[in-house]
Amino acid sequence: MNNSIKFLVKEKDNRKRLDIFLSEKIDDLTRSNIKKIIKSSNVKINKKIAISSSKKVKTKDIIAINLLIKKLDKLSPSKIKLDVHFEDKDILILNKPKGMVVHPRAGNHENTLANALIYKYKDKLSNINGEFRPGIVHRIDKDTSGLLVVAKNNLSHSKLGKQFSEHSISRKYLCLVWGVIRPLQGTIKTLISRNKKNRQLMMVSDFNGKKAITNYKTIKVFNIKDIPRISLVECELETGRTHQIRVHMKYKGTSLLGDNQYGKKNIKFKKINEDFLDKLSFLDGQALHAKSLGFIHPSKKKWVNFESELPSDFKKLLNLLKKLSG
């Protein structure tokens, strides 16, 4: 089973259903996706093909899953221009545009960042995560723009991966949210798990899930007639859970502008200025940008930090808010 990821079942996961165990381990895939992978004979328990999604795993079992639902001989290159922010022999710092998926997954096998990397760099990237995630150390959401680090060799990948697992990487984001977050500066600590009603979404959980920590501070509050207040907030991640900032902002009652998945029911649109909503139509997806990325360089062994400019739609929205708030 090439391009597979392996998991060791620990005591706390003993007797869990196979599909539930894997859905908790792999943020990218829903339980439905995982059932399809199991059904297509792409999951093994202790080197034997798993037949049933409901199979109960046991402590010390080794679970191997091939993440490629669609059988491909190799990752197809895509001629897509990459915004290379920095490059040396060990790493790439890329500025990912909004709308681009980082790597192939269920229902999206082409025109991803990984396809673009293969086109430009061919085999000059790390392969620790398999052929279908060349150089990919971490990811950001499709509709989030900003900085990503890519590893050009396996040693660099391992050293960067360790920093991510130890939460020593510095990742700062800027976002625009509805309302004013209280207190204006603080730390959000919760558990985050898959939404029980919609497995493609995440939610704050009281009992189950992965630890999620977001430090935040309010940069500016915009007061505009006939609409709810809007705040510019900087968020720094200590952990990197799927949709973490979006889930945490919703949890605080301050959903991101443009977030159609987590924001719809969280905004009080009574007596809101309809013209303003029309002016937001250019914002395709959430107003969230990964503005800075800092870590210890894998070969130079010294701290490096990278900053990126806001994308044009974010700048346009900020200028509109400044103009309307006087």
Distance between CA atoms of 7 and 25, rounded to whole angstroms? 8
Tell me which of 90, 141, 143, 259 is the catalytic residue.
Answer: 141
Distance between CA atoms of 57 and 12, rounded to whole angstroms? 11
Active site residue 141: yes
What SS3 state is found at 43? strand
- Burial class of residue 274, CB neighbours in 10 A (0-12, 13-18, 19+): exposed
185-194 vs 202-205, strand pairing mode? antiparallel
Contacts 24+ apart (CB under 8 A), 265-271: 266/178, 267/178, 267/228, 268/228, 271/226
Distance between CA atoms of 183 and 252, rounded to whole angstroms? 10
235: Cβ contacts below 8 Å, ≥ 6 apart: 172, 173, 174, 175, 214, 215, 216, 245, 248
* Residue numbers annotated as active site: 141
